[in-house]
Amino acid sequence: AQKITQTQPGMFVQEKEAVTLDCTYDTSDPSYGLFWYKQPSSGEMIFLIYQGSYDQQNATEGRYSLNFQKARKSANLVISASQLGDSAMYFCAMREGHGGSNYKLTFGKGTLLTVNP
Amino acid sequence: NAGVMQNPRHLVRRRGQEARLRCSPMKGHSHVYWYRQLPEEGLKFMVYLQKENIIDESGMPKERFSAEFPKEGPSILRIQQVVRGDSAAYFCASSPTRTGGTEAFFGQGTRLTVV
């Protein structure tokens, strides 16, 4: 079974509007962390935001927020007030907290976001 | 994050040649992780190293691939006798501790093209 599922291969949004990128995850570990990365066309992986499984509040970083619904095992990324520079590939990733391999990140296949002017 | 330095950024090799990818971790970090990104895929874990030790190489192909992180100098990912299927982006991340904390920063990656 896929540990990280991103069901939207591509998304379009108008500049200045908000957009939600979906991510669901699968783990039986009670301790885990969820990450979102942005990969622009230049190729680097840019860390955006982190949510821990025990965090009571949804994580926020500027225009990025993470809609964490633990019971549904979803960790959707919300980008508010989209900008043209937000056009990129976005990856959701998980690190499971316990066990011998708690350093590994498992990535989804990504969502290509295009912001239209 | 600019703190993790990878070079070269782009590498072209002919089939059968060797590729050497270098990763200098952030200052004070002694844990290094290599990931590979095949075209149109997410990153996949390859290997985890500490200084002079390979901790987990479960994601690394058993043949032709090797990694090291010597006491001095960068971590090296070495691919011998490259084939077209090795064409990918290779990313390195580092951390001060085993778990990497609440942030996980990658270098800018090395894009390997095998012709």
C-alpha dist (Å) from residue B98 to A25, A32, B7, B49, B65: 23, 14, 24, 10, 23
Interface test mutation site (partner A, options B45, B57, B60, B110, max chain A beta carbons within 10 A):
B45
Note whether B108 and A43 are within 8 A (CB). Answer: yes
For residue A79, what are the β-bridge partners? Answer: A19, A64
Chain B residues within 8 A of A107 when measuring between CB atoms: 42-44
Contact criterion met (CB < 8 Å) for B104 and A44: no
User: Please, which pLDDT band fits residue B1 given cuts at 50, 70 and 90?
Assistant: very low
Name the pLDDT band for B19 (thresholds 50, 70, 90).
very high
pLDDT at A1: 65
pLDDT per position as a tens digit, A47-97:
999 999 999 899 999 999 999 999 999 999 999 999 999 999 999 999 987
Minimal C-alpha gap between A46 and chain B (Å): 7
Say what the pLDDT of residue B98 is.
74
Strand order in the sheet with B10-13: B10-13, B110-114, B88-95, B31-37, B43-50, B53-56
Beta strands at A32-39 and A88-96: parallel, antiparallel or unpaired: antiparallel
The answer to whether B57 and B34 have CB atoms below 8 angstroms apart is no
Encode pLDDT of B64-109 as tens digits: 999 999 999 999 999 999 999 999 999 999 888 776 666 678 999 9
Q: Do A47 and B105 touch (CB under 8 A)?
A: yes
Q: Which two tokens stand for residue A111?
A: 């969502």
